[in-house]
Structure 1
Amino acid sequence: MTVRAAWLTNRGDTAGGQTRNDTRLAPLGTMTPAAELTTSPGAIPGSDPFALTATGPMTATLATGRAIIQGTEPQGAYPVAITADEPLVFADGDPANPRIDLVVLRVYDTAYDDSGQTLVAVEIIPGTPGAAPTAPSTPRGALALFRVQIAAGISAGTGGIGFAAATTDVRRYTAAVGGITPYSVAGAHRGQYRDNGTGLQRYTGTAWSGLATGLITWTKASLASGYGHNGNSNGDVRYRVIDLLGTRFVQWRGGMNVSYSGGNPRGSGRFLRSALPTTARPSSGLRTLPVACSSANSSIIAVKIDFHSNGTATLLSAAGDAPPWVSLHGVMYPL
């Protein structure tokens, strides 16, 4: 067998019973809980479990991997594994309408369902053709892996499925209890962690709180006339927005060359060519911070910047001080 399960069959069953090899290959241990007696189902992370690869116009294979499939609460959770590529054959398209098929990993347990079977299998659940088709629901005791769009009239003779464009990855992942789930699972207990794709989050018992979630990655600022990047070789002026323990912050870095007009920074100190995006603006009022500056042409070694709620920013220096550059390294403020 290439699709195996642990804790599904007994010795003497038609399925042959659980072997030592089944137990070694299937994932064991307590996984991420969903409730008191249920487990958050999903694939076990590691490279690319259950990858779908096209092998022909209407055929593909499902690669090896391990997973947990949750049944009903009385059933418990089933640890399963695929140990060799599983072939998939998709039926030809409906003559008139497209459909969406669902690829699943499914457990049959006749002690809890009316299937009359005790096994785990890879299946394609065909969708219902329609002008605007929807994917079939995931059956009880199954883990959805991929949705595949089957165009109307498609077959091997007409070129088959364009798998790259037709396939939607719906795999979800799970981890051992106390581990970090690489998926946006629902919160089950205080102190639970997950990686939602942009950063690490902790569940407080009522909501997810970001530890260091990136909302806007490092972005090069567009500077107004009279201002330039890489002041004092400090690099380009960049900003990013992060969520840190539930509070949103803007961070800045880089150096900015500054020119003057009438003894004041050019353009009344408005050094940004365009306003910051809404998600990077103070919610109200100002955020005023000191920034290091050159001591050349200046009696001071710091000036200030006001960050405004309309997305603009103003560089301010005292009369008679005209430092040729300022450094934004270390500038950070809450929104």
Structure 2
Amino acid sequence: MNLRSSWTAETGQTREDTRLTQTGATTPLNTVQVRSGILPGSYDGRYRLSGLWMDKASAMTATVHEGRAVIQGSISQGAYPVTLPASQEVTFAAGDAQYSRVDLVVARIYDNLYDSSNRNEAKIEVVQGVPGQAPQAPAAPPLSLPLWEVTVPAGASAGNGGIPWGTALKDLRTPTVSLGGINPVEGPTQRGTYPGQYQDTPNGELQRWDGGQWVSYPAGVGGIVPANVPLEQGGYVGQYRDGTSGQFQRWNGTAWKPAFPGPYFNGTYDEGWTTSTTFTTALTDTLSTPLGVDFVAPPSGAVLITYGARMYAPAPTPPALAMSLRLTQAGTTKIEAGDEGSVVYTGATPASMSTVTRFYGMVPGLTYTVTALFKVGSNTSQIKGYFDNTFVMVQHHN
């Protein structure tokens, strides 16, 4: 039975034709036209798109199964609803003697008012491709809906095995739904046509068109965008996502940044010493001097800094050893090192000492540097103060 359509034939349209083709599927393509495609659904509800499915019938023949579709013409032509109420076989020509080719199976409308074909009907057709070393599918004819590509090998015929149907088919079908419906995406993702339009992706993500891109639905209601959803640009400042590297990220209006940056850390196991009685960044016998770390000030303008070292002064009466911090921004000192809040130890036996301090009043978003400084207390005998396993760690704080 031929493909059935309505409002195509000049005469002879039956009530049955009209009933079969009232699809109601008009997903907008623009203000006048609609998106061509196949109505989704299956008999048992297991599949998104089973209409106009195609499979092997014989060596060179395939069966196109029943289904309904909409084929959009030019603006003046309007949209043509079509229905294949029963399966139909299509036959492919024998393969070329030397090269393979790619044929195209389409649902096609003939409308003599527009194409001068002297025909007014709908057909399932095979458009034969051109054989070649790297064959390509032919262009779809005007007013047609591509359904399948079929690769026909060189020499294929009914007598020598025919078309290898398990590998020869490429599904080109795409679904379309009624206005306001959620389109189940199959094949290439098409751009949306109005903000507020929804689609269901093949991996089960519900997405909303925001006027420029498809945004995963959880993002639109304050949810966390999952890592498997590609979202190069956030939808709003403050949106969160699970980054592909496993890092929790926040959209700041221009880029995805770590939602909770840090901790920023620098440390060394390389021991160094000083005899300076004033705070200095330089330690002798270590390559890790000065020891510092850069960080970006958080929205609160406050950070917690943990710092310390394994310290000792090998002397009968060891002086006090101290470690402090200096805070700078773009080379300007904001907080100078001092005794208050410093890590202090007095002893000839090595001991690990550390403390935590809070720096605040920084400008959010600016990069600051915190640097470790060291000194030895009263030191007329030039006693060496040793600092090992030295570290500085910066964490954001409210």
Please say whether Structure 1 and Structure 2 have the same fold, judged by a TM-score greater than 0.5. Answer: yes
Q: 2:202 aligns with which of 176, 187, 197?
A: 197
Match in the other structure for 2:136: 134
Aligned residue identity for 2:194? H
Aligned residue identity for 1:6? S
Q: SS at the partner of 1:156?
A: coil
Alignment of 1:22 with 2:17, yes or no, is yes
Q: 1:37 aligns with which of 32, 36, 43?
A: 32
Q: SS at the partner of 2:113?
A: coil
Aligned residue identity for 1:78? Y
Q: Structure 2: which 5+ runs fail to align?
A: 43-49, 220-225, 250-255, 263-398
Match in the other structure for 2:253: none
CA distance in 1: counterparts of 2:149 and 2:191, whole angstroms: 22
Match in the other structure for 1:326: none
Alignment of 1:180 with 2:177, yes or no, is no
Q: CA deviation at 1:29?
A: 2.9
Q: CA deviation at 1:288?
A: 7.7
CA distance in 1: counterparts of 2:198 and 2:171, whole angstroms: 23
Aligned residue identity for 1:125? V
**8 Å contact from structure 1 (residues 41, 143) kept in 2:** yes
Percent of matched pairs sharing the same residue: 38
CA distance in 1: counterparts of 2:28 and 2:68, whole angstroms: 17
Match in the other structure for 2:216: 210
Q: Structure 1: which 5+ runs fail to align?
A: 214-238, 251-275, 290-335
Which one has the largest radius of gyration? 2
Aligned residue identity for 1:185? Q
Aligned residue identity for 2:137? A
**8 Å contact from structure 2 (residues 23, 69) kept in 1:** no
Aligned residue identity for 2:28? P
CA distance in 2: counterparts of 1:126 and 1:38, whole angstroms: 29
**8 Å contact from structure 2 (residues 191, 213) kept in 1:** no
User: Are the structure 2 counterparts of residues 89 and 207 from structure 1 closer, same or farther at C-alpha, using a change threshold of 3 Å?
Assistant: same
CA distance in 1: counterparts of 2:63 and 2:2, whole angstroms: 13
Alignment of 1:46 with 2:41, yes or no, is yes
Q: CA deviation at 1:111?
A: 0.3
Q: CA deviation at 1:155?
A: 0.9
Residues matched between the structures, number: 234
Alignment of 1:3 with 2:11, yes or no, is no
CA distance in 2: counterparts of 1:67 and 1:278, whole angstroms: 42
Q: CA deviation at 1:279?
A: 6.8
CA distance in 1: counterparts of 2:70 and 2:154, whole angstroms: 34
Aligned residue identity for 2:241? F
CA distance in 2: counterparts of 1:36 and 1:20, whole angstroms: 30
User: Are the structure 2 counterparts of residues 242 and 168 from structure 1 closer, same or farther at C-alpha, using a change threshold of 3 Å?
Assistant: closer
Q: TM-score, normalised by structure 2?
A: 0.55
Q: TM-score, normalised by structure 1?
A: 0.65
Match in the other structure for 1:256: none
**8 Å contact from structure 1 (residues 147, 168) kept in 2:** yes
**8 Å contact from structure 2 (residues 32, 75) kept in 1:** yes
